[in-house]
């Protein structure tokens, strides 16, 4: 397989940042660099990769808190999330205080993403699915050749994302899961924003929130 990845939990919330790379070109991206930037850059170095971009599923601080630090000096482009999460990026200083993070800077993504868009990592292409509910601008990255999806905080093993934050909505989240994710197929493996990986089939069978 020409796409490989490594999951690196970061921040006190153990958020699953993903180092993703194309084995043909050794070009890499970081999905949701929430913090602990030194550890992320060390992982890039250890794999002998060239970091080419940052990809964001949504704009809660544990997923994007390291983005400004990563990109201010390197000039790395930022792709995602959907424009509807701009208010969360603009509120990063307030999020820092609310969740006990060191103050982080706001930033402007180079490219907002929408349903049906694609992003590239080296020679590999990932599809973008807009999956609101946890946040209004939440997106999912799906790599069809490897049957793998990076779903942020939409879906977890045995659970789903919270909807009690501003502009969260339970019915919207459930619709995103049932209409956008589960139809991709039971064999699709997903990397959630927290906790262990699972498959859509396993969640369809056992997850009380989405089974049936």
Q: How confident is the model at residue 117 (pLDDT cuts 50, 70, 90)?
A: very high
- Strand pairing class (139-143; 78-79): unpaired
If you average pLDDT over residues 43-58, what whole number do you get? 98
* pLDDT above 90 for 158: yes
Q: Which of 16, 120, 151 is nearest to 6 (CA)?
A: 16
Length of the chain (residues): 212
What is residue 212's predicted lDDT score, i.e. its pLDDT? Answer: 65
* pLDDT above 70 for 31: yes
Quote the pTM value.
Answer: 0.97
Task: Yes or no: say if 64 and 41 are a contact pair by the CB < 8 Å rule.
Answer: no
Q: Which of 100-114, 115-129, 156-170 has the lowest mean pLDDT?
A: 100-114
Residue with the larger pLDDT of the pair 96 and 39: 39
* pLDDT above 70 for 176: yes
The per-residue pLDDT of the chain, averaged, comes to: 96
What is residue 173's predicted lDDT score, i.e. its pLDDT? Answer: 98
Q: What DSSP character marks residue 101? A: P
């Amino acid at each position: 397989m020409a796409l490989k990845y490594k999951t690196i939990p970061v921040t006190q919330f153990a958020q699953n940042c993903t180092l993703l790379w194309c084995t043909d070109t050794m070009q890499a991206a970081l999905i949701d660099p929430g913090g602990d930037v030194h550890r992320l850059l060390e992982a890039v170095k250890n794999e002998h990769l060239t970091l080419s971009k940052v990809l964001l599923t949504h704009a809660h601080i544990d997923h994007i808190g390291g983005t400004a630090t990563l990109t201010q000096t390197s000039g790395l482009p930022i792709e995602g999330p959907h424009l509807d999460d701009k208010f969360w990026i603009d509120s990063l200083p307030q999020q820092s205080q609310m969740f006990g993070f060191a103050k982080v800077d706001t930033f402007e993504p180079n490219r907002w993403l929408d349903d049906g868009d694609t992003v590239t990592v080296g020679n590999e292409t990932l599809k973008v699915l807009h999956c609101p509910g946890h946040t209004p601008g939440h997106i999912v990255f799906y790599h069809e050749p490897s049957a793998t999806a990076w779903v942020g905080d939409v879906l977890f093993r045995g659970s789903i994302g919270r909807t009690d934050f501003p502009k969260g909505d339970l019915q919207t989240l459930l619709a995103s899961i049932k209409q956008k994710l589960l139809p991709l197929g039971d064999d699709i493996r997903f990397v959630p924003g927290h906790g262990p990986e699972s498959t859509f089939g396993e969640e369809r069978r056992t997850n009380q929130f989405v089974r049936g």
